[in-house]
Structure 1
C-alpha cells in the first residue's frame, strides 16, 4: 500500500447499479435474509462483495439519489433489504429482528456506516454509542471513498459525512476538548456507553437550544425553552421513555418539544 493510501472499502454487490436494479437486488437479498432468519435465527453474509475504487462516490441518503439512470453505490438502500426481510417474515416481530440484523450488520464497514448515518430509531445513548464505535473500527477503509448525504453538491469526505449526519452526537457528548472528528466521535461514544441518566439529562439540555432553532410555530416557546421546565419534564419520564431520548438526538428532542407544546395547549 502506498504511503497515505487507505485500505480499500468493500460493499455488497447488491448495492451497486442502476436504481431499478439495486431496488430489485436489495429486495431479493431481504427475502433471502428473512427466509434464513425464519429457519435458524441467523442472517446470511452477502453473496458477493466488490471493492469500491478510491475516491468513488457512495450515496448514503435517498435525497442525494437524483440520477436513477446512473450506476452508483446506493448504501441507503439497505433499508430496502430490511423491508424485504420483513416481507419474508410476514411483518411479524419486526422490532427484535431489527435489533438482531443491525447487530449483524455492524460487524461490517457498510453496515456500520449505514446504521450510523441513517439514524433509525432507537437513538438511545447506548445504541448510538454502539453505532459510532462500529464506524470507528472501520474508519480507515471508509476514508478511502467519498459520500453524498442530504444535500446536492461536492462529495463529502468521511469526516464531513459524520459531521453532517452525527454532528448532534458530537455537540451533545463532546462539545469541547477534542479537535478531530475521529477523536470527538471516540470520546462521545465512550461517554454515551457509560452514561448515567443524569449524564444523558445534561447532554439533552445542551442540545435543546439546537432543537428549538428548528421550530418556529411554538405558542408556548418561552415555557418550553426554559431549562428548568425541560429538566422537570425530562425527570418525570418513565425509564423506557427516557431511554428513547437519552442519546440527545435532535429529532427525538423535537418530538419532545411538540409533545410538551401539545400538553400545554390542553390546559
Structure 2
C-alpha cells in the first residue's frame, strides 16, 4: 500500500481518543486485521483516517501518557493492534503475521514512524534500514506534528523525536558528521545498514558498546565482557540467526548480550 507523500499527516481514527477508548478500538482493529490475515494473508486498510492538525501533539511513547482521560493521538498504541492480531491467531505462529503487518503499514507515515521509534523486535541492520528509510520517505508529512516521547512536558519536533529514539543508530552507523542534520545522518545510517556486511555490523557494535556498558549494572565479569578481544571472539562465533539479532547495534540488544556473556562466564 503506498499513499505517496500526502500534504498533511493523517492517522487512523482508532488511534485517537481517551486511553480507554483507544484501547478498545485498537483491540477491535487488531482482531479485524487478524481475521483477514487468516483468510488471505492480507490486511484491511483502516476504516477511517483523520487529518492531524498542524502542530498537534502525537503521543509516541507510553511512558509519557499521563493524562489518559484526555482525548489525544496515541501512536504507541499500534502495539495493541498487534496484540489483537495475535489474539485472533490464538497466539500461535504470530511472527510472520507481525512482520507482514509491519511491511504493509510501514508504507504509511504513521506506520513508518511507529516502527522506527517503538523499536519493535527484530532490530537487525536490515530491518532498521527499512524502518529509517520509511520515515525518510514521509519526512515532510511527519514534520507537521509535534511528539511526546521522553518527557510529558516537552513536545518534540520530528528531528528531536528521531534523535531521542534513534540516536544509537546515528552514533553506530554515522559516527562522523555530527554537525550534519538529523535527516542527513539518518539517511547515511540507513544506507550503511542496508549494505552492511557482518564485519560492518561488528564495527558498528563496537562503536555502540560503550553506551551499552554504561547502562549495564551488576556485571560480575565486567573487565572480561568489556574487552574488545572477548567481544569480537563471541560475536564472530554467533550463528547467522543469533548474529542477525544484534547486527543493528541497538543498545538494548547489546545490553542483553552483555548480560548473556556475563552469565555464561559465571557458569564455568
How does the TM-score come out when normalised to structure 2? Answer: 0.96
Equivalent residue for 1:200?
201
User: Per-residue deviation at 1:91?
Assistant: 1.5
Q: 2:253 matched to 1:252? A: yes
Alpha-carbon distance in 1 for matches of 2:264, 2:91 = 33
Question: Which structure 1 segments of 5+ residues have no match?
Answer: 1-5
Alpha-carbon distance in 2 for matches of 1:201, 1:154 = 35
Equivalent residue for 1:228?
229
Equivalent residue for 1:34?
34
Alpha-carbon distance in 2 for matches of 1:142, 1:238 = 38
Report SS of the residue matched to 2:73.
strand
Segment drifting more, 238-247 vs 210-219: 210-219
CA-based RMSD: 1.0
1:3-22 residue pairs with structure 2 within 5 A? 7-22=7-22
Equivalent residue for 2:134?
134
Alpha-carbon distance in 2 for matches of 1:116, 1:24 = 24
Report SS of the residue matched to 1:213.
helix
Q: Which stretches of structure 1, 4 residues or longer, exceed 4 Å deviation after superposition?
A: none
1:70-109 residue pairs with structure 2 within 5 A? 70-109=70-109
User: Per-residue deviation at 1:150?
Assistant: 2.9
Alpha-carbon distance in 1 for matches of 2:152, 2:70 = 15
How does the TM-score come out when normalised to structure 1? Answer: 0.96
Alpha-carbon distance in 1 for matches of 2:91, 2:234 = 35
Segment drifting more, 179-188 vs 149-158: 149-158
Alpha-carbon distance in 1 for matches of 2:255, 2:91 = 29
Equivalent residue for 1:155?
155
Kindly indicate whether the alpha-carbon contact (under 8 Å) linking 1:201 and 1:231 is maintained by their aligned counterparts in 2: yes
Equivalent residue for 2:262?
261
Equivalent residue for 2:3?
none
Kindly indicate whether the alpha-carbon contact (under 8 Å) linking 1:7 and 1:144 is maintained by their aligned counterparts in 2: no
1:177-196 residue pairs with structure 2 within 5 A? 177=177, 179-196=180-197
Equivalent residue for 2:218?
217
Alpha-carbon distance in 1 for matches of 2:222, 2:208 = 16
Alpha-carbon distance in 2 for matches of 1:216, 1:28 = 40
User: Per-residue deviation at 1:151?
Assistant: 2.4
Report SS of the residue matched to 2:122.
coil
Alpha-carbon distance in 1 for matches of 2:16, 2:166 = 25
User: Per-residue deviation at 1:89?
Assistant: 1.6
Equivalent residue for 2:117?
117
Kindly indicate whether the alpha-carbon contact (under 8 Å) linking 1:37 and 1:43 is maintained by their aligned counterparts in 2: yes
Alpha-carbon distance in 2 for matches of 1:223, 1:7 = 53
Report SS of the residue matched to 2:95.
helix
Equivalent residue for 1:168?
168
Alpha-carbon distance in 2 for matches of 1:229, 1:92 = 38
Report SS of the residue matched to 2:220.
coil
User: Per-residue deviation at 1:266?
Assistant: 1.4
Report SS of the residue matched to 2:217.
coil
